[in-house]
Amino acid sequence: KRPVGAPDKGLARPVTKVGVVGAGLMASQLALLFARRLEVPVVLTDIDQERVDKGVGYVHEQIDMLLLKGRVGQDQANRLKALVTGSLDKATAFADADFVIEAVFEEMGLKQQVFAELEAVVPEHAILATNTSSLSVTEMASRLSRPERVVGFHFFNPVAVLPLLEIVRAEQTDDASLATAFAVSKKLKKTSVLVKDAPAFVVNRILTRFMGSVLASIDEGADIRTADRALAPLGLPMSPIELLELVGPAVAHHVAGTLHAAYPDRFAVSPNLGRVVAAGKRAFYLHDSGRPELDPEVLALF
């Protein structure tokens, strides 16, 4: 059955090589998923060799884990490792890429610059996708000469586990690009939903409301430990603060900022979360021993 709003699948173009811009955690997870499900070469790029090597190293570790768990055999593991490579030279690496997805830092100017660089090196037919959490895909594409090939392709962490994929149609996106995005999503075995290009799309809007309500109660004086544990009996897979950690304090703060800018009366940015980000904290918990405990340095900020 065709997903709601998906164009005729006959319009989809083949994807035989994938590029990933950014080699951070999200990008590396994406590289592995594309290689595993599409079985095509995937090239990871970043701004320096160290980052690229780290990204490819993460992918190889994850493949070793899949092998250990018996999810892939030795031959497939070897094949997957050979499919995922790193490069600093986008012009050569992406000259024959059909689908390039960016997962760089959440900043409009940077993402526009990445897309402009990509437009200069990818083939005419290539799709340019963004994994942005909350930024306008229409604005991101607006400075390109061929903005109609830009789509939002928003995954959820952990990418290998969560089935949802939000596909964002920007104002300029054409049917062939959208059809290709849906065809790729199907091969990735994701459940895709077409969403409008509205701030934070659908899921992050809801999650920001959820995490924001918990943060607001803490901002108003609730103890973070109590607020974090209070929802446990509901059987959620993670507590709100665990979820904030998974999303990343900086990303959660950024998404809240985007929503606050768009709807100041409906969304706020938590001052406590702002302090965690300003202190450079990437985690709320200490994970070094047994059961994770809230980090005393984080507690001191609240």
Can you give the binding site for ligand 3HC, defined by CB under 6 A? 69, 133, 156-158, 160-162, 204, 207, 237-238, 243, 246-247, 251
Q: Which is nearer to ligand 3HC, 41 or 249 (by Cβ)?
A: 249
Q: Which is nearer to ligand 3HC, 17 or 134 (by Cβ)?
A: 134
Catalytic residue among 154, 253, 254, 260: 154
Taking the complex as a whole, how short is the minimal distance between the CB of residue 238 and ligand 3HC, in angstroms?
Answer: 4
Structural contact between residues 15 and 176, judged by C-beta atoms closer than 8 angstroms: no
Closest CA to 131 of 65, 206, 185: 185
Q: Which is nearer to ligand 3HC, 216 or 243 (by Cβ)?
A: 243
Taking the complex as a whole, how short is the minimal distance between the CB of residue 228 and ligand 3HC, in angstroms?
Answer: 14
Taking the complex as a whole, how short is the minimal distance between the CB of residue 93 and ligand 3HC, in angstroms?
Answer: 25
Per-position b or e across 154-183, b if 16+ CB within 10 A of its CB: bbbeebeeeeebbbbbbebbbebbbbbbbb
Taking the complex as a whole, how short is the minimal distance between the CB of residue 242 and ligand 3HC, in angstroms?
Answer: 8
Closest CA to 271 of 257, 284, 258, 283: 257
- With 0-12 CB in 10 A as exposed, 13-18 as middle and 19+ as buried, what is 272? middle
The backbone region for 120, taken as left when phi is positive above 0, alpha when psi lies in -120 to 50, beta otherwise, is alpha
Find the Cα–Cα–Cα–Cα dihedral 116, 119, 120, 124, rounded to 10°: -170
Q: Which is nearer to ligand 3HC, 76 or 87 (by Cβ)?
A: 76
Q: Which is nearer to ligand 3HC, 224 or 252 (by Cβ)?
A: 252
Q: Is 154 in the active site?
A: yes
Taking the complex as a whole, how short is the minimal distance between the CB of residue 83 and ligand 3HC, in angstroms?
Answer: 19
Q: Which is nearer to ligand 3HC, 116 or 164 (by Cβ)?
A: 164
Calpha distance 13→126 (Å, rounded):
9
Taking the complex as a whole, how short is the minimal distance between the CB of residue 17 and ligand 3HC, in angstroms?
Answer: 24
Residue 241 exposure: Cα atoms within 13 Å on the Cβ side: 26
Q: What angle do the packed helices 25-38 and 49-68 form, to 10 degrees?
A: 50
Active site residues: 154
